[in-house]
Amino acid sequence: MASSLTKDAAQQVTPVSGGKTFFGHPRGLATLFMTEMWERFSFYGMRALLVLYLVAPTAQGGLAFKAATGAAIYSVYNATVYLLAMPGGWIADRLWGPRKTVAVAGAIIMTGHFLLAVPFEASFFVGLVFIAVGSGLLKANISTMVGHLYPDRNDSRRDGAFTIFYMGINLGAFAAPLVIGTVGQKVNWHLGFALAGVGMALGLAQYLLGTRHLAPKSNEVPTPLGAAERAKLMKKAMFWLVLAVAFYGVVTATGHFTINWALWPLSLAGLALPAYYFVKIRRDRDITADEKSKVTGYIWFFIAAAVFWMIYDQSGSTLTVFAQNNTAGTLWGFGFPSSWFQSLNPLYIMALAPFVAMLWVKLKDRNPSTTVKFAYGLIGIGLSFGVMMLAQAAASGDTKVTPLWLAVVYLIQTVAELSLSPVGLSVTTKLAPEKYAGQMMGLWFLAVTAGDCTAAIIQLVAGNAFLSEASFAIQGAVVALAGIAFLFYRKRVISLMGDVH
């Protein structure tokens, strides 16, 4: 996904080992590049199989969930990954430091993938928890360590470093469905999950071998947790853990537990937490009136982003089910598994991102404002579900439609993403109160959580009708109209942004 690039700057390290560099950058960039590439390979490979495995009949080795339930599990899982990015950043800041946190995260993710490879349902869901926790720890910190390689915010190499790092994300995301998806669908589901574990193991191994090339700052704990704070935190954590174990223990013992007992609380929590954080920030007496106004303006961007991700992140759930059930597995005589569609987005990003970046530069003073770019992103993502409505209509009567339908949908969604996601990161840093600079970046990730949780609620309420023409039409129309409304309301939002343009 194009979203996880902007982090704060930090220290630059002098190249070691005889002055060797990585494309003119500190060798630590190579370590972080490869770690992120392999982590994304494992994550997106597993994600390409997740819904397909959940809904596959038991005769085919799957778990035989209803399509809507499988899609909701996927949405809640993806939401949880981004939800855990906030505590992941906190753990690095207060307990371990980024370098140790990423090492622990890699080990947890690897363990989770291998748990998915065990052919037992309980092991599978425990593995998902491991991967979500590990991904949250890693996601919040690995980009920060790229910034640590460059202490000077004006270092001309800094933007290039994040571009190289970003390519690692997309290379891993592009290759994963082609490799892991093929093995999982054509050979064995659990072998595919194991292959994802091998990918993370390779990433962890080279990370541990290359840590000596990272900046010393990456090993520091910025604001260590005091003994009293640690004891207080442990008491709170144990209280909530015991309460959760007791509650679900009773539900399970009485025979009432179903997957919905996990999906609904997590979905509602994913919507309640962002609201809580915004109320907390706006009520803080330490922030100025100008900062409060900017936070109010940012809430509009947050809501727009959440609505955007509600549709965008259904690429791995709703669109994957459509690819499996309603889309032909051949194009121009070439056959392929349905998981391959998940490679289209990173492929499109690698092809289009440089041109979009050059377009914004070339436009100069005519460059659309942040509010306009957000509106374009919303309208675009809404139109993509308009195309899906037509594709679903073409697939009526058990007709298998051409893969070109989904190719067009993913193309529209990628263009919309490139319009909204990068500027969303930028406007977050600009509108954040000084006291909450780091936490506001965590709130940006919570927009993904809120969007995915909304999608999960739609899928749970609609049941299998979530794949209907009406569902695509309603969701697409609502989001596109939200984009148009955002466009017309932009002057009010701009006034709240103060001196930020």
418 with 355: CB under 8 angstroms?
no
- The letter for the amino acid at 120 is F
Structure tokens at 217: 């700052």
**How many angstroms separate the Cα of 242 from the Cα of each of 234, 238, 246, 257, 308?**
12, 6, 6, 18, 36
**How many angstroms separate the Cα of 9 from the Cα of each of 128, 143, 159, 325, 501?**
32, 10, 11, 46, 22
How far apart are the C-alpha atoms of 146 and 158, rounded to whole Å?
9
Mean pLDDT of successive 10-residue segments in the chain (501 residues)? 37 42 80 92 95 94 93 94 87 88 95 95 94 90 83 66 80 95 95 96 94 87 83 88 89 86 91 91 87 90 95 94 92 91 93 83 79 93 97 89 96 93 79 76 87 94 90 96 92 81 63
Helix (H) or strand (E) holding 90: helix 85-91
With a CB cutoff of 8 Å and minimum separation 6, the contacts of 399 are 326
SS3 5: coil
Distance of CA 419 to the CA centre of its chain: 17
Q: What is the pLDDT of residues 2-14, one digit of tens each?
A: 443 333 333 333 3
How far apart are the C-alpha atoms of 75 and 85, rounded to whole Å?
16
How far apart are the C-alpha atoms of 457 and 107, rounded to whole Å?
32
> pLDDT at position 115, please?
97
Cα torsion 286, 292, 295, 297 to 10°: value is -170
Distance of CA 37 to the CA centre of its chain: 15
Structure tokens at 447: 């927009």
How far apart are the C-alpha atoms of 161 and 149, rounded to whole Å?
9
> pLDDT at position 19, please?
54
Buried-state track 80-119, b at ≥16 Cβ within 10 A, e below 16: bbbbbbbebbbbbbbebbbbbbbbbbbbbbbbbbbbbbee
> pLDDT at position 374, please?
92
Structure tokens at 442: 């965590």
Helix (H) or strand (E) holding 407: helix 404-431
With a CB cutoff of 8 Å and minimum separation 6, the contacts of 302 are 274, 278, 443, 444, 446, 447, 450
- Report the greatest alpha carbon distance in the chain: 67
Q: What is the pLDDT of residues 185-210, one digit of tens each?
A: 999 999 999 999 999 999 999 999 99
C-alpha distance across the termini of the chain, in Å: 25
> pLDDT at position 159, please?
63
